[in-house]
């Protein structure tokens, strides 16, 4: 028996089985529709396996990226991170002078997946410290969300909001609090975003204002993390 004969024998058995399978049988009316249905099922399984493989690969590459970012001190890791120091790491758009068409030069798949995901929302526990003393027995707890409008003008908007956006949000939330109104009633509070708002990442590193232009996903912070902040003044 030849290979073709073997194939048609197995194909007939599979189509006969599909003709009795729930839901699938309604698409099989004759041998041709049975072959089409079998073809679509095989293609669908192959597509599912391919997507599953890509998803797993993407997860591992992103995990490696976060592990790389979490090594060492903030300033040192930022100076060395390839995505911040290499302008050619990402895809680029350029104008083809001959055709006048804008062409996008896509990056390699490994580079595309090996990226931190932008931070969509955070939980912030904020205390108020005056002359080294904590004024709140129970810190303020904020749930902050970041909308696309807050990072659409960034050089690399795919990485989301910068540290400056987070620092400014915490500042304004404190300014709107009852405690601020109470303290400001005693004496005018000279509080600024850059001098009096401290932000910590998930590893309790203080994030200095010198890196306010860096996006949160590069600062050991991920979506849904719980971090701490402080409003301090003497």
DSSP string, 42-68: HHHHHHHHHHHHHHHHHHHHHHHHHHH
Enter the tokens of residue 183.
Answer: 């303290």
- Return the CATH number at 162: 3.10.20.90
Q: Give the contacts of 96 (CB within 8 A, at least 6 positions apart).
A: 102, 103
Give domain status of residue 181, yes or no.
Answer: yes
Q: Which residues pair with 105 in a beta bridge?
A: 92
Give domain status of residue 15, yes or no.
Answer: yes
| pLDDT tens digit at each of 234 positions of the chain | 677 777 778 888 888 888 888 888 888 888 888 888 888 999 999 999 998 988 888 777 777 777 777 776 666 556 555 566 455 555 566 566 666 676 666 666 666 666 788 899 999 999 999 888 999 999 999 999 999 999 888 877 888 999 999 999 999 999 998 888 888 776 677 889 999 999 999 989 999 998 898 899 889 899 999 999 999 987
From 17, 37, 57, the end of a domain falls on 57
DSSP designation for 117: P
Integer Cα distance of 190 and 116 in angstroms = 37
Considering the domain architecture, whether residues 125 and 227 belong to the same structural domain is answered as: yes
Give domain status of residue 66, yes or no.
Answer: no
Phi, psi (deg, nearest 5) at residue 15: -65, -40
Give domain status of residue 51, yes or no.
Answer: yes
Question: Structural domain of residue 27, as residue ranges?
Answer: 3-57
Give domain status of residue 77, yes or no.
Answer: no
Buried b (16+ CB within 10 A) or exposed e, 113-152: bbbbebbeebebbbbbbeeeeeeeeebbeeebebeeebbe
Give domain status of residue 7, yes or no.
Answer: yes
Total number of domains in the chain:
2
Integer Cα distance of 119 and 216 in angstroms = 7
From 42, 57, 72, the end of a domain falls on 57
Task: Give the CA count within 13 Å in the CB-facing half-sphere of 156.
Answer: 22
Give domain status of residue 81, yes or no.
Answer: no
From 39, 57, 75, the end of a domain falls on 57
What's this model's pTM, rounded to 2 decimal places? Answer: 0.68
Enter the tokens of residue 103.
Answer: 């062409």
Considering the domain architecture, whether residues 127 and 227 belong to the same structural domain is answered as: yes
Q: Between 31-69 and 3-18, two packed helices, what is the crossing angle to 10 degrees?
A: 90
């Amino acid at each position: 028996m030849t290979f073709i004969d073997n194939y048609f024998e197995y194909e007939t058995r599979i189509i006969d089985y599909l003709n009795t399978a729930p839901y699938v049988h309604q698409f099989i009316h004759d041998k041709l529709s049975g072959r089409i249905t079998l073809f679509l099922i095989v293609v669908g399984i192959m597509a599912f396996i391919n997507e599953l493989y890509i998803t797993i690969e993407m997860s591992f590459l992103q995990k490696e990226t976060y592990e790389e970012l979490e090594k060492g001190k903030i300033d040192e890791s930022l100076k060395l991170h390839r995505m911040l120091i290499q302008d050619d790491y990402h895809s680029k758009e350029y104008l083809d002078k001959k055709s006048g068409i804008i062409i996008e030069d896509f990056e390699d798949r490994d580079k595309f997946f090996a990226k931190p995901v932008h931070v969509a929302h955070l939980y912030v526990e904020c205390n108020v410290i005056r002359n080294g003393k904590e004024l709140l027995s129970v810190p303020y707890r904020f749930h902050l969300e970041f909308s696309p409008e807050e990072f659409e003008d960034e050089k690399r908007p795919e990485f989301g909001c910068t540290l400056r956006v987070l620092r400014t949000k915490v500042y304004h939330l404190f300014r709107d609090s009852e405690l601020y109104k109470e303290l400001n009633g005693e004496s005018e509070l000279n509080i600024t975003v850059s001098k009096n708002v401290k932000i910590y990442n998930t590893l309790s590193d203080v994030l200095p204002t010198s890196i306010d232009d860096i996006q949160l996903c590069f600062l050991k912070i991920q979506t849904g993390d719980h971090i701490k902040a402080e409003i301090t003044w003497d």
